[in-house]
Amino acid sequence: MTQIIGYGRISTTEQNPNSQIDALKKAGADKVFIEKFTGTKLDRPELSKVFEYLRDGDQLVITKLDRLGRSTKDLLSLLERLDSTGVRLKVIDQNIDTSTAEGKFFFTVIGAVAEFERSLIVSRTKDGLAAARARGRVGGRKPKLSEKQQAEVKRLYEKGEKTVSEIGELFGVSRPTVYSVLK
Protein backbone atom coordinates (compact mmCIF):
# COMPACT_ATOMS: atom_id res chain seq x y z
CA MET A 1 0.00 0.00 0.00
CA THR A 2 1.39 3.39 -1.01
CA GLN A 3 2.06 5.79 1.83
CA ILE A 4 2.81 9.47 2.06
CA ILE A 5 5.64 10.10 4.50
CA GLY A 6 6.41 13.61 5.76
CA TYR A 7 9.84 14.84 6.76
CA GLY A 8 10.53 18.17 8.47
CA ARG A 9 13.67 19.63 9.93
CA ILE A 10 14.54 22.49 12.24
CA SER A 11 18.11 23.57 12.92
CA THR A 12 17.85 24.55 16.57
CA THR A 13 15.75 23.60 19.55
CA GLU A 14 14.51 27.23 19.71
CA GLN A 15 12.76 26.82 16.35
CA ASN A 16 9.24 25.43 16.25
CA PRO A 17 8.35 22.62 13.79
CA ASN A 18 4.56 23.04 14.09
CA SER A 19 4.07 24.89 10.81
CA GLN A 20 5.96 22.14 8.98
CA ILE A 21 3.97 19.41 10.74
CA ASP A 22 0.69 21.13 9.85
CA ALA A 23 1.69 21.54 6.18
CA LEU A 24 2.86 17.92 5.93
CA LYS A 25 -0.38 16.61 7.42
CA LYS A 26 -2.40 18.88 5.13
CA ALA A 27 -0.47 17.35 2.20
CA GLY A 28 -1.74 13.94 3.32
CA ALA A 29 1.24 12.59 5.25
CA ASP A 30 0.36 9.31 6.98
CA LYS A 31 3.46 9.53 9.17
CA VAL A 32 5.68 12.54 9.94
CA PHE A 33 9.34 12.52 10.98
CA ILE A 34 10.77 15.72 12.49
CA GLU A 35 14.50 16.34 12.77
CA LYS A 36 16.22 18.79 15.13
CA PHE A 37 19.56 18.83 13.34
CA THR A 38 21.59 20.95 10.95
CA GLY A 39 20.85 20.57 7.26
CA THR A 40 24.52 20.76 6.32
CA LYS A 41 25.08 17.15 7.37
CA LEU A 42 23.72 14.33 5.25
CA ASP A 43 23.86 11.76 8.07
CA ARG A 44 20.86 12.67 10.25
CA PRO A 45 19.07 10.32 12.67
CA GLU A 46 15.46 11.01 11.62
CA LEU A 47 16.34 11.09 7.92
CA SER A 48 17.90 7.64 8.34
CA LYS A 49 14.65 6.45 9.93
CA VAL A 50 12.72 7.91 6.98
CA PHE A 51 14.79 5.89 4.51
CA GLU A 52 14.31 2.73 6.59
CA TYR A 53 10.54 3.34 6.60
CA LEU A 54 10.05 4.20 2.91
CA ARG A 55 8.98 1.49 0.44
CA ASP A 56 8.69 1.28 -3.33
CA GLY A 57 5.77 3.43 -4.51
CA ASP A 58 5.73 5.68 -1.43
CA GLN A 59 5.94 9.45 -1.61
CA LEU A 60 8.19 11.58 0.60
CA VAL A 61 6.75 15.04 1.25
CA ILE A 62 8.75 18.02 2.55
CA THR A 63 7.76 21.66 2.93
CA LYS A 64 10.86 23.27 1.38
CA LEU A 65 13.87 21.91 -0.42
CA ASP A 66 16.30 23.25 2.17
CA ARG A 67 14.63 21.08 4.82
CA LEU A 68 16.06 18.05 2.99
CA GLY A 69 19.55 19.38 2.32
CA ARG A 70 21.71 22.47 1.86
CA SER A 71 24.01 21.51 -0.99
CA THR A 72 23.09 20.57 -4.54
CA LYS A 73 25.38 17.55 -4.28
CA ASP A 74 23.57 16.26 -1.17
CA LEU A 75 20.14 16.95 -2.65
CA LEU A 76 20.99 15.08 -5.86
CA SER A 77 22.43 12.20 -3.83
CA LEU A 78 19.22 12.00 -1.78
CA LEU A 79 17.07 12.18 -4.93
CA GLU A 80 19.09 9.36 -6.49
CA ARG A 81 18.60 7.30 -3.34
CA LEU A 82 14.85 7.96 -3.42
CA ASP A 83 14.66 7.09 -7.14
CA SER A 84 16.55 3.83 -6.61
CA THR A 85 14.00 2.73 -4.01
CA GLY A 86 11.03 3.79 -6.15
CA VAL A 87 10.04 6.73 -3.95
CA ARG A 88 8.69 10.01 -5.34
CA LEU A 89 9.51 13.34 -3.72
CA LYS A 90 7.08 16.21 -3.38
CA VAL A 91 8.17 19.67 -2.21
CA ILE A 92 5.11 21.63 -1.10
CA ASP A 93 6.29 25.27 -1.16
CA GLN A 94 8.15 25.04 -4.48
CA ASN A 95 5.51 22.78 -6.07
CA ILE A 96 8.06 20.14 -7.12
CA ASP A 97 7.09 16.55 -7.89
CA THR A 98 10.01 14.35 -8.96
CA SER A 99 7.76 11.81 -10.64
CA THR A 100 8.08 13.94 -13.81
CA ALA A 101 11.15 14.97 -15.84
CA GLU A 102 10.19 18.62 -15.34
CA GLY A 103 9.96 18.07 -11.59
CA LYS A 104 13.45 16.55 -11.46
CA PHE A 105 14.85 19.43 -13.52
CA PHE A 106 13.17 22.03 -11.29
CA PHE A 107 14.44 20.16 -8.21
CA THR A 108 18.02 20.46 -9.51
CA VAL A 109 17.70 24.14 -10.41
CA ILE A 110 16.07 25.13 -7.11
CA GLY A 111 18.67 23.08 -5.21
CA ALA A 112 21.49 24.97 -6.96
CA VAL A 113 19.82 28.32 -6.26
CA ALA A 114 19.33 27.41 -2.57
CA GLU A 115 23.00 26.43 -2.25
CA PHE A 116 24.05 29.69 -3.93
CA GLU A 117 21.81 31.69 -1.59
CA ARG A 118 23.28 29.94 1.46
CA SER A 119 26.81 30.68 0.22
CA LEU A 120 25.93 34.36 -0.13
CA ILE A 121 24.52 34.48 3.40
CA VAL A 122 27.65 32.83 4.83
CA SER A 123 29.87 35.24 2.88
CA ARG A 124 27.92 38.31 4.01
CA THR A 125 28.01 37.11 7.61
CA LYS A 126 31.79 36.67 7.49
CA ASP A 127 32.20 40.11 5.90
CA GLY A 128 30.02 41.69 8.59
CA LEU A 129 31.95 40.02 11.39
CA ALA A 130 35.29 41.10 9.88
CA ALA A 131 34.05 44.71 9.56
CA ALA A 132 32.89 44.67 13.19
CA ARG A 133 36.25 43.29 14.36
CA ALA A 134 38.06 45.99 12.35
CA ARG A 135 36.06 48.56 14.35
CA GLY A 136 37.15 46.93 17.60
CA ARG A 137 33.95 45.00 18.31
CA VAL A 138 34.26 41.40 19.34
CA GLY A 139 31.48 38.87 19.18
CA GLY A 140 30.19 36.61 21.86
CA ARG A 141 28.73 37.20 25.24
CA LYS A 142 29.62 40.16 27.37
CA PRO A 143 31.84 39.17 30.31
CA LYS A 144 29.92 38.26 33.45
CA LEU A 145 32.42 40.17 35.56
CA SER A 146 33.72 43.69 35.05
CA GLU A 147 37.48 44.29 34.75
CA LYS A 148 37.50 45.51 38.36
CA GLN A 149 35.70 42.34 39.53
CA GLN A 150 38.08 40.17 37.50
CA ALA A 151 41.06 41.85 39.17
CA GLU A 152 39.47 41.18 42.57
CA VAL A 153 38.88 37.49 41.68
CA LYS A 154 42.57 37.15 40.77
CA ARG A 155 43.67 38.94 43.93
CA LEU A 156 41.50 36.78 46.21
CA TYR A 157 42.71 33.57 44.57
CA GLU A 158 46.41 34.50 44.40
CA LYS A 159 46.44 35.62 48.07
CA GLY A 160 44.71 32.34 49.02
CA GLU A 161 41.95 34.23 50.80
CA LYS A 162 39.15 32.24 49.14
CA THR A 163 38.67 29.00 47.22
CA VAL A 164 37.37 28.97 43.64
CA SER A 165 33.93 27.87 44.90
CA GLU A 166 33.84 30.66 47.49
CA ILE A 167 34.87 33.26 44.89
CA GLY A 168 32.13 31.98 42.57
CA GLU A 169 29.53 32.30 45.33
CA LEU A 170 30.80 35.76 46.29
CA PHE A 171 30.40 37.08 42.72
CA GLY A 172 27.39 34.98 41.77
CA VAL A 173 29.17 33.08 39.00
CA SER A 174 30.03 29.46 38.34
CA ARG A 175 33.38 27.79 39.03
CA PRO A 176 34.18 27.56 35.28
CA THR A 177 33.67 31.33 35.03
CA VAL A 178 36.14 31.87 37.88
CA TYR A 179 38.63 29.52 36.21
CA SER A 180 38.32 31.40 32.90
CA VAL A 181 39.12 34.68 34.72
CA LEU A 182 42.15 33.07 36.35
CA LYS A 183 43.63 31.91 33.01
Residue 84 φ then ψ, to 5°? -65, -25
Catalytic residue among 11, 71, 174, 180: 11
Rounded CA gap, 176 and 70, in Å? 36
3-state secondary structure of 87: coil
Does the annotation mark 19 as catalytic?
A: no
3-state secondary structure of 152: helix
CA 83 to chain centre: 26
Name which of 41, 21, 18, 42 is nearest 32 in CA terms.
21
- Residues forming beta bridges with residue 35, ordered by sequence position: 9
Name which of 98, 95, 68, 74 is nearest 85 in CA terms.
98
3-state secondary structure of 59: strand
Q: What is the set of active-site residues?
A: 11
